[in-house]
Amino acid sequence: MTHARNAFGTPLLAGAASGPAEPVPPRPLAGIAASRRRALALFVACAVPSLVAAQTPAQTPAQTPALAPAQTAPLKVVASFSLLADMVAVVGGDAVAVHALVGPDADAHAFTPAPADASRLAQAGLIVVNGLGFEGWIDRLVRASGSKAPVLVASQGIAVRRIGKVVDPHAWQSLVAAQRYTENIRAALVAILGPTRPAQVGAINARAAAYTQALAALDASVRSRLAAVPPDERKLVTSHDAFGYMADAWDLDMRAAQGWSTAGEVSAADVARLIRQLKAQRVRALFVENISDPRLMERIAREAGATVGGTLYSDALSPPGTRADTYLKLMAHNAETLLAAMQPGR
C-alpha cells in the first residue's frame, strides 16, 4: 500500500463529485499553517469541550495565561460523524480535541446542521469528512461557517464500491478501508502539527501504527472464523444498504430493504419483493440498525417467517459507555452479531 504523505494534495471533497453537493476546492498546505494559527488563536478565546478533552482535559487559558497556546492547546478537529471522530481521537491522542457533528446513534443521512455546528467549524483547525457523497450537507455548511480549516477526505485512496451507478459511501464498514482512513488521518495530523509540535509526531505515528495493527488483527480474526461458514449460510438482510463494503470484504450475501441512504420511504412494492425473496431463499437472519426504526425489519421478519439476528451499527457509534462506543468495538460487535446469526443449527 502506498501512503500519500500529503493528505490534501487531491481535490478534498472528491467524493462529493458523485453526490449532489458541489466540491470544495482543495486548500494547499500553505493554507494549513494560516488556518492553524487562526484556529489556535480562537481556541484561547473559546475552549470547547469534546470527546478527547473530556478524557484528557487541557489547561484552560484562564489557568495558564502565560503559556503560548501554539505549544499547549490541542488541535481542534471537527469530524462529520461519530466513527470518524473516534478514529481521529485514537490517532491524535492528547494532541487533538475532537468534536463530531453527527453524534452517537444519529443518522448522518438525515442530519440538519444547527448554527452551533457552523460555529464549531469556524473554530476548527482541521475538518475531517468521509467523502464519497456521504455528507450531502457538509460543503454548504463549511462555506456558511467561513472556516478556513483544511478539509480531509478520510476515504481518499480506498477502492470505491458502487451500487449501480451510485457510489456507496459506507467504506468504513471494511476494516481494510479503515486502515487507509487511519493513514490519511495520520498524514493530515503530522502535516498540520509537525512544523510547530515535532515532539508529538512520533506519538501520532506510533498510535496510528498500533491502531492499524489492531484493525488488521480484527479483520484477520473475523476472516478466519468466517472461513468455516458455508456460502449457503451467508445470506443476510439489513435495513439500509450500508454493509456492502463489509459484504465484499468478508464474502457475505447481504441485501437491504432500503437503498444506500436512509432518506426516503421504503415502498410497499420493495417490502413485498423482499418478503418474497426471503421466503424463496434460505436467508439466515435480518438485522435492525442503531440509526433506523427497527419496526420495518421486525415486520418483514414476521411476515417472511425469518428471525431478527440483532442490531448492527451502520453509520454511528453507540453512546459512550455502551457496547459500540468506539469504531473497533463497533466492528467487533457487528462481526460477532453476524457470526452468531450464521451458526449452523441456529
Answer for which of 86, 135, 183, 315 binds Zn ion (CB under 5 A) is 315
50 or 173: whose CB is closer to Zn ion? Answer: 173
Helix, strand, coil share of the chain (percent; to 5): 45, 15, 40
Query: What is the C-alpha separation between 172 and 315, in angstroms, rounded?
Result: 9
Q: Which stretch binds Zn ion (CB under 5 A): 49-57, 73-81, 184-192, 313-321?
A: 313-321
Reference 292, options 243, 224, 221, 346; nearest CA is 243
219 or 315: whose CB is closer to Zn ion? Answer: 315
243 or 250: whose CB is closer to Zn ion? Answer: 243
Q: Which stretch binds Zn ion (CB under 5 A): 53-61, 62-70, 207-215, 240-248?
A: 240-248
Q: Which stretch binds Zn ion (CB under 5 A): 90-98, 226-234, 242-250, 337-345?
A: 242-250
242 or 288: whose CB is closer to Zn ion? Answer: 242
Total number of residues shown for the chain: 346
188 or 249: whose CB is closer to Zn ion? Answer: 249
The CB-of-60 to Zn ion minimum distance in angstroms stands at 37
The CB-of-314 to Zn ion minimum distance in angstroms stands at 6
Contacts of residue 39, defined as CB under 8 A and 6 or more positions apart, other chains included, come to 75, 76, 123, 124, 125, 126, 149
Answer for which of 77, 153, 242, 316 binds Zn ion (CB under 5 A) is 242
Q: Are 104 and 82 in contact (CB under 8 A)?
A: yes
The CB-of-297 to Zn ion minimum distance in angstroms stands at 15
Query: What is the C-alpha separation between 101 and 85, in angstroms, rounded?
Result: 9
Continuous segment of H or E residues that includes residue 91:
helix 82-92
Kindly write out the interface string for residues 162-201 of this chain, putting x where it contacts Zn ion by CB under 5 A and - elsewhere: ----------------------------------------
Indicate the residue type of 32.
Answer: I
Query: What is the C-alpha separation between 307 and 235, in angstroms, rounded?
Result: 12
Query: What is the C-alpha separation between 85 and 325, in angstroms, rounded?
Result: 11
183 or 315: whose CB is closer to Zn ion? Answer: 315
135 or 315: whose CB is closer to Zn ion? Answer: 315
Residues from 33 through 52 that contact Zn ion (CB under 5 A): none
Q: How many CA atoms lie within 13 A of 329 on its CB side?
A: 14
Reference 331, options 204, 180, 171; nearest CA is 171
The CB-of-156 to Zn ion minimum distance in angstroms stands at 19
Is residue 331 involved in binding Zn ion (CB under 5 A)?
A: no
The CB-of-41 to Zn ion minimum distance in angstroms stands at 36
User: How many chain residues bind Zn ion (CB under 5 A)?
Assistant: 2
Phi-psi region of 305 (alpha: psi -120 to 50; beta: other; left: phi over 0): left
Binding region for Zn ion (CB under 5 A): 242, 315
